[in-house]
Copies of this chain bind each other. A is one copy, B any other.
Amino acid sequence: MKTVDILLTHALVLTMDGQMNQYNPGAVAVTGDSIVAAGPEAEIKKEYSGKETIDCGGKVLMPGLVNAHTHVPMTLLRGLADDLRLDVWLMGYMMPVEREFVTPEFVRLGTLLACAEQIRSGVTTFNDMYYFEEDVAKAAAQAGMRAVCGQTVMKFPAPDAEAYEDSFDMARDFIKRWKDHPLIVPAVAPHAPYTCTEEILRETAELAREFDVPLHTHLAETAFEVENIRREHEMPVIPYVKKQGLLEAKVIAAHCVHIDTGEMRTLLHAGAGVSHNPSSNLKLASGFAPVMKMLEAGLKVGIGTDGPASNNDLDMFEEVRLAAFIAKAVSNDPTSLPAPTALTMATRLGAQALHLGHLTGSLTPGLRADLILVDISPLHNSPSFKRSQDNAYAQIVYAGKSTDVSDVMVNGKWLMRERRLLTVNEDELLAQAADIAKKVDSFLIAREQSVLSKLIALGGSMEQEAFEVQVKVKITDGRSIVQALKRPEIEIVRYRHYDQHDTYFAFDDPLQGRLRYREDDFLDEKGAVTTTRPRLTLLGQKREDSFAHDVLLSRSRFFAPAAQSLRFYREYFKPKVETSITKDRERWLIKFKDTEFFVNVDEMTEPALGHFVEIKSRTWSRKDAEHKAALTTELLALLGLAHSETVTSDYIEVVKSIG
């Protein structure tokens, strides 16, 4: 008779081991941090006596669930913004808020909240990627969970790093310090191929190899990503990252929604693990991952929740069920991804995908004691059939709820007993979270009140235009102007010809100004488009002054780089009215009496409102403005427009006045 620390008896034991051994009634013996034995209750009791014996009351005793991909601190951003396109969600909401709020303290709190939620729902191991990852590690260790913690590295500035080199150094220091921790596996996380340079991919892979730690990354999440990588590098995502040496590390590849069988073989050959994230892939409309094909190819595919801001929770019961459901519908075959396979993905296969198969994922003697009790007797999961071994898996996968988990042990230590959390103070955390949410709300409410703030929140280089002196004149056509510009008093510095497509957003409150998304299609001599330049301008309502001949001192304007699509801005700014204008513009930069002016000869084509000339010049002082206004009047005369009809409205107003 051997003595063990804890004997768990009277359980339906689902070992989830390679033979899918099931014992009912079964028992598990634990000593220290490890499983000593699992088997039929009678046999185990004959061989072992426990310092403590726990009657599991007929519940399911199984390995803890493995959440194979998440960003745990984002619990604090859960439900902040939903039903948005990925770019609007990410660049319009997540990144601006993260830039403003993410600190080590935010990360600590978000992680503890996530640990509490995950422990409650039966997760014992998770694989994370975020900023200030060492603080994730500290909080996870404090909560007693097993975790792979990947410090994010990417080419953009991040909340925890001004530049790539900073985050790379953080990753190296973090890995060095935590390499031998009993619960935490430190890792490096180059964010994704499209947010990393080739150098980052190469160097993070080298770092991971140097310390023999996993490398966690997003691969082939969206069709858009695959298209871009194909266009830029003339190959799909997996060959591209292989070329950078990424696959020489112990890779954990999140998503893999858009990969083909050749790429699966490449990943398999490299020993990479995969995390399938059904809720996130559905909610962000990333697509349907080829899960059955990946499993058939022999890949270790785990299941992950992804971050709670795109899910919106950390409920692995839901993910497992969804994985099974979606595979059936996509393959048009209800026998696809049956319950035992789905549950294996969430336990043993998931652990293997994280390169932790030697530590956790099944109730196998020698592995760490990471285990949970699940009550399968509640109303929503009754009655129970016992005809086949598969009935038990089906009960958990198809009708189980995370709230059915009653007890959780990690590394031989209880984290939850009879639904009571033992390592985190839920109430305290919730109060702190409510506090942060309030601040984030205020930040966004303030931002949303002003189009300018929303523009600033997008980040990137933004500039405020200096004042401008300008005049606009209606003409019958541009030919006489083109002739007049050849006069000796005028020196032509530059000439351009383009189609200008303007889309104006107007808002409920006219004081917000108008936002103009402008695409200039530059034309060559034959009228063919050579390049397109997108720009974003916020036009204020204020007119500063006017001079003789309706020469105006114009309104304040803010320029921002139009890195996103018109659709992005439409969904992000939610304008009340949208108006589109197209004009054919010939634009001269000229010098007249040592002063630079732009002369635009415009034909409004959509709507067809005829021809206009604009004369403009930047200015920086009242005195300079007066001088340029006078020169402008001279120029008007020189161009034969002294007595023409001036127009004091912007083009959008011209359109509106006739609309």
Contact A385/B437 with A288-B329, A379-B117, A380-B121 known, Cβ cut-off 8 Å: yes
Q: Interface size of A by Cβ–Cβ distance < 8 Å?
A: 78
By a CB distance below 8 angstroms, the chain B residues around A429 are: 379
Which positions 357-385 of chain A face chain B at CB distance < 8 Å? 377, 379-385
Q: A380-B313, A437-B384 are in contact. Are A390 and B335 (CB under 8 A)?
A: no
Residues of B within 8 A of A285 (CB): 328-329, 331-334, 336
How far, in angstroms, from A395 to B121 measured CA to CA in the complex?
18
A234 contacts B by Cβ under 8 Å? no
Min CB–CB distance A73 → chain B (angstroms): 13
What are the residues of chain B within 8 A of A336 when measuring CB–CB?
Answer: 285
Question: Does residue A33 face the partner (Cβ distance < 8 Å to B)?
Answer: no
* Contact residues in B for A76 (Cβ distance below 8 Å): 383
Query: Given A121-B380, A279-B325, A394-B312 in contact, is the A84-B434 Cβ separation under 8 Å?
Result: no
> Are B430 and A313 in contact (CB-based, < 8 A)?
no
A489–chain B nearest beta-carbon distance, Å: 56
Partner of A113 from B79, B85, B379, B398 at Cβ < 8 Å: B379
Residue in B121, B308, B334 whose beta carbon sits within 8 Å of that of A84 in the complex: B334
Q: Is A260 an interface residue (CB 8 A)?
A: no
Cα distance, A331 to B284, chains bound together (Å): 11
Contact (A334, B284) CB under 8 Å given A383-B436, A385-B441, A433-B383: yes
User: In the complex, are the beta carbons of B437 and A82 less than 8 A apart?
Assistant: no
A571: nearest residue on chain B (CB-CB)? B335
- Interface mask (A247-283 → B, CB under 8 Å = 1, otherwise 0): 0000000000000000000000000000000010111
Is residue A490 contacting chain B, with contact meaning CB distance below 8 A?
A: no
Q: With the chains together, A328 CA to B280 CA distance in Å?
A: 11
Contact pick for A332, options B84, B287, B322, CB 8 Å: B287
Nearest 10 pairs of A and B residues by beta carbon? A383-B437, A83-B338, A282-B325, A312-B398, A82-B394, A282-B329, A312-B399, A383-B433, A285-B334, A285-B328
Q: Would you mind naming 24 contact pairs between A and B with Cβ atoms under 8 Å apart? A: A78-B382, A82-B339, A83-B324, A84-B335, A85-B334, A89-B334, A116-B379, A117-B379, A117-B380, A282-B328, A282-B329, A283-B324, A283-B325, A283-B334, A285-B329, A285-B331, A285-B333, A285-B334, A286-B329, A288-B329, A308-B399, A314-B380, A384-B434, A385-B444
